[in-house]
Chain A
Amino acid sequence: MTDETVFQPIEKVSIVISKGSLDGVYPGLIMANGARMEGMEASLFFTFFGLEAILNKRMDNLKVATVGNPGMHMPTLIGALPGMSAFATKMMKKEMEKIDIPPVREFLTMIHDSGGELYACRATVDMYHLKREDFISELDGIISVGQFYEKAAGAQIIFT
C-alpha cells in the first residue's frame, strides 16, 4: 500500500441487532442514525433478542445487563441483587438524555423518518409466534435472512 491509496467512502450500512439489553441495542441505533446523518443509506435488521427493541410492549422497558457484563465492574452476585439492573438502567438513561440520545422508541422513529429502514427477522418472529401488530408501526417488514442479504447488496454489514 502506498500513501496514494484512495479508499472509497462507505455509502451503505446494514446493521444487525441481536441483543435485547439496553446496552445491546443502543450501539446499533447510534450507528444507524449516524450513518443517515453522514448521508449513507442505513438499514437495521433485528433478530433473536434484538426484537425486544421493536416490540411495542417491550421496547420502553429494556434494561442494562448487570450480570455477566465485566464492563459494569460489578461482582456477579451484586449485579444479581433485586433492583440492581433497574438502578443501572435508570442511571444510564439519565446520562444518555444529557447528551441528547433519545429513548429507544423515539430513536427508532427518528431513524425511520430520516430514511433508515427497520426489519424484523422472519425466523425469530415465527419462533416466538409474533404478529405484525406486535411491532412498532414504523417497521418496514418482516424478512428472511435471504431477503436481508439481498437488501444489503453493496452495504457494509455490521453485527451487534
Chain B
Amino acid sequence: MGTINILGKQLAVDADGNLANRSDWNEDVARELAKQEGIPNLTSQHWTIINYMRKVSEKEGSAPSIRRLTKESGVDTKTLYQLFPKGPAKRAAKIAGLPKPVGCI
C-alpha cells in the first residue's frame, strides 16, 4: 500500500490511490485531493455531492450509484458531470476519501 503527501502528512492510500483510512479525511484534505484531481475550487454543489457520498457510504458501506446520487442529492446528471469531469463517481469518491465505487451504474 502506498502513501500520498497531503498538507505535510503521509496518508495511506489503496491500490486505486484513494485514502485507505476514513479517519484521515477532513475538509482540508478534501480540498487538497480536489486540487490533485484538477478541481481547484470546491463549490457548495461539490460539497453537496461529497457529503452525500460520505453519508451513504458510512451507513451502507459503499458509495451510491450515479443514478441514486443524482436522484437523492438534488444535483442533476449534467451538473454532476460538469462538477467532476472525466468520471464523476470515481473522482467524487476519491475526493470524499472513499474507496472507488464498485457498481456498474
Contact = CB atoms under 8 A, between A and B. Distances in A.
Given A39-B85, A100-B103, A102-B67, A113 B78 contact: yes
Interface stretch (A29-37, A84-92, A146-154): A29-37
A99 interface: yes
Contact of B87 (A38, A102, A109): A38
Contacts of A110: 66-67, 70, 77
A39 B80 CA distance: 12
Q: Which residue among A30, A102, A110 has the maximum number of chain B CB atoms within 10 Å of its CB?
A: A110
B77 A114 contact: yes
Interface string B78-94: 10110001111110000
B96 to A, nearest CB: 16
Contacts of A39: 85-87, 90
A38 B90 CA distance: 7
Interface range, B side: 10 to 19
B1 interface: no
B22 interface: no
A110 B70 CA distance: 10
A115 interface: yes
Given A37-B66, A37-B89, A30 B104 contact: yes
B105 A100 contact: yes
A101 B103 CA distance: 10
A64 B74 CA distance: 33
Nearest to B70: A110
Interface of B: 65-68, 70, 76-78, 80-81, 85-90, 103-105
Interface of A: 30, 33-34, 36-39, 99-102, 109-110, 113-115
